């Protein structure tokens, strides 16, 4: 893997910013994102099968779904962001897709809780590459007034992946059950959930090669005016110190939103099974339809954000997201007490459309206040904190409440309601604080001085009530 050369001004000017190949890049990255989500969440549809075969508890499974994956994801997010700022990003994406597909297949070989954890760790290492690499590529390939739409396409990945997981889970389990009961060479005699992991993981090893259908985007100069680095010797640490009052609540807010999203993704299938008695083959089509509608809404929301941005409101992404959060809170408190699954599916449509797409707004906002040379590292930093917080306050806290506080698996809905509404309420408060801070910063013309070896200055400026 060679260092990515800096493009000249002439090359940047010659490269088309929004042609069909730019949109193909967004679609391909969305496809990879969807693949990563399928590989990550397919196991949640087989909770009871895995528990039975490996003799483990809800809490142990939450450690597999949460910290085993999340902590590893966090640890490797910043290194991947650092690499995305310096190396050929197509190579990074190719290696990552191939590696997480291998980890998914490998999960099918797990014979114990410890082996299951080990394969999820490898999955976390590989999947940590996708977000910083994708943002770096899209930000260099699209103009600022089209970036939110491109990110909206990219962020259909989680919903598309969840849709595929819901639809494929029931079909794959049924097929795998038939194979496991037969004498098929190699596959015969293996557990149903293990065969499902083989079937889901293998296609990704071929799909990894699709990244070579796109060009490596030329690295563009910064389009950022919210935080301007003066001096070529500025460091990322210096940038963070000067903008700590903005960065800390921003990262905390979206990390807590991630916790709510991960809790929904991880435990909703088990909630449906335990509360309404539906199997994956029954709830799969319904949840697939819900996820498909939610995924389509991400593109629409990205276009709305771009429209608001084009009207001069540079803080469009955060403002729009806080409006959605006001809708989430009452729904989050009531959805898990729906009298039947059909009412729940309607409520869940709105919950998942708001929660799972939250990272779209984080990515769009990072681009607005982070200089180009730090963009991958900034997203890498977010992806260090994001999975740590989301794994601890999402699936693990939900399982902890169920197992240790309520001590009743039938109370999973109570746990989900508490965790999702609590995390989203905190997200709303923090983001409104960030928006107020930006407005106050503009009025007071606050300047941050960088100390140490960098000896540069970072000035935070904006027009009143807007992020510039």
Quick one: pLDDT at residue 322? Answer: 94
Quick one: pLDDT at residue 10? Answer: 42
CA distance 199 to 394: 28
Beta-bridge partner residues of 230: 457
What SS3 string covers 211-267? HHHCCCCCCCCCCCCCEEEECCCCCHHHHHHHCHHHHHHHHHHHHHHHHHHHHHHHH
Q: Per-residue pLDDT for the chain (468 aa), expressed as one digit of tens each?
A: 444 444 444 444 444 455 788 889 989 999 999 999 888 888 887 877 888 888 887 888 888 877 888 888 888 888 888 888 888 999 999 999 999 999 999 888 888 888 889 999 999 999 989 888 988 888 888 776 677 778 778 877 877 787 787 777 777 887 877 776 566 656 656 778 888 888 888 889 999 999 999 988 887 654 444 444 434 456 888 888 888 888 899 999 999 998 998 898 888 988 999 999 998 788 888 887 887 777 677 778 778 887 887 887 878 888 899 999 998 898 888 899 999 999 999 998 888 778 766 777 887 787 666 777 787 678 778 877 887 888 778 888 998 999 899 999 889 999 999 999 999 999 999 999 988 887 766 555 434 433 333 333 334 333 333 333
Quick one: pLDDT at residue 92? Answer: 94
Q: What are the residue ranges spanned by the domains of the chain? A: 18-460
Quick one: pLDDT at residue 272? Answer: 93
Helix runs in 85-129, H state only: 89-107, 113-127
CA distance 459 to 225: 9
Q: Which residue, among 196, 365, 202, has the nearest Cα to 281 in the 3D structure?
A: 196
Quick one: pLDDT at residue 86? Answer: 86
Fold of 18-460: Growth Hormone; Chain: A; (1.20.1250)
Contact 380, 362 (CB under 8 A): no
Quick one: pLDDT at residue 181? Answer: 59
Contact 12, 218 (CB under 8 A): yes
Count the residues in the chain: 468
CA distance 16 to 140: 11
Which residues, including other chains, have CB under 8 Å from residue 24's CB and lie 6 or more apart?
Answer: 213, 214
* Cβ count near 192 (within 10 Å): 20
Beta-bridge partner residues of 45: none
Structure tokens given for 463: 């027009």
Residue 72's φ and ψ, nearest 5 degrees, are: -60, -45
CA distance 228 to 222: 9
CA distance 208 to 9: 31
For the chain, how big is the Rg over CA atoms in Å?
22
CA 65 to chain CA centroid, Å, is 14
β-pairing, 457-460 with 447-449?
Answer: antiparallel
Quick one: pLDDT at residue 183? Answer: 61
């Amino acid at each position: 893997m060679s260092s990515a050369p800096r493009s000249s001004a002439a090359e940047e000017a010659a490269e088309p910013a929004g042609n069909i190949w730019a949109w193909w890049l967004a679609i391909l990255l969305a496809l990879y994102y969807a693949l990563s989500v399928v590989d990550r969440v397919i196991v949640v549809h087989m909770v009871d099968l895995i528990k039975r075969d490996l003799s483990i508890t809800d809490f142990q499974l939450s450690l597999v779904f949460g910290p085993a994956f999340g902590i590893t994801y966090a640890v490797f997010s910043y290194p991947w962001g650092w690499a995305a700022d310096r190396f050929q990003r197509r190579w990074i994406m190719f290696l990552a897709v191939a590696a997480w597909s291998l980890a998914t297949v490998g999960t099918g070989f797990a014979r114990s809780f410890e082996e299951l954890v080990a394969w999820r760790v490898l999955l976390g290492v590989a999947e940590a590459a996708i977000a910083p690499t994708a943002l770096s590529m899209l930000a260099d390939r699209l103009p600022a007034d089209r970036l939110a739409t491109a990110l909206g396409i990219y962020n259909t990945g989680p919903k598309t992946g969840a849709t595929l997981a819901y639809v494929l889970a029931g079909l794959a389990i049924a097929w795998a059950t038939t194979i496991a009961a037969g004498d098929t060479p190699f596959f015969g005699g293996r557990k149903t959930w293990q065969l499902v992991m083989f079937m889901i993981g293998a296609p990704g090893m071929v799909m990894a090669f699709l990244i070579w259908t796109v060009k490596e985007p030329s690295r563009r100069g910064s389009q950022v005016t919210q935080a301007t680095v003066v001096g070529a010797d500025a460091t990322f640490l210096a940038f963070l110190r000067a903008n700590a009052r903005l960065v800390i609540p921003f990262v905390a807010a979206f990390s807590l939103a991630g916790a709510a999203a991960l809790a929904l993704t991880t435990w909703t299938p088990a909630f449906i099974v335990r509360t309404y008695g539906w199997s994956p083959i029954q709830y799969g089509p319904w949840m697939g339809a819900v996820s498909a509608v939610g995924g389509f809404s991400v593109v629409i929301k990205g276009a709305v954000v771009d429209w608001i941005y084009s009207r001069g409101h540079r803080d469009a992404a955060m403002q729009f997201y806080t409006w959605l959060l006001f809708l989430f809170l009452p729904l989050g408190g009531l959805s898990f007490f729906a009298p039947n699954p059909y009412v729940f599916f309607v409520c869940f449509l709105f919950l998942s459309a708001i929660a799972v797409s939250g990272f779209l707004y984080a990515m769009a906002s990072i681009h607005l206040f982070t200089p180009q040379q730090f963009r991958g590292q900034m997203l890498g930093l977010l992806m260090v904190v994001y999975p740590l917080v989301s794994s601890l306050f999402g699936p693990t806290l939900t399982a902890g409440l169920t197992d240790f506080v309520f001590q009743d698996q039938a109370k999973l809905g109570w746990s989900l309601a508490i965790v999702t509404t609590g995390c989203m309420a905190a997200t709303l408060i923090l983001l409104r604080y960030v928006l107020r801070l930006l407005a106050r910063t503009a009025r007071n013309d606050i300047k941050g001085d960088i100390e140490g070896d960098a000896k540069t200055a970072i000035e935070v400026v904006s027009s009143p009530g807007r992020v510039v």
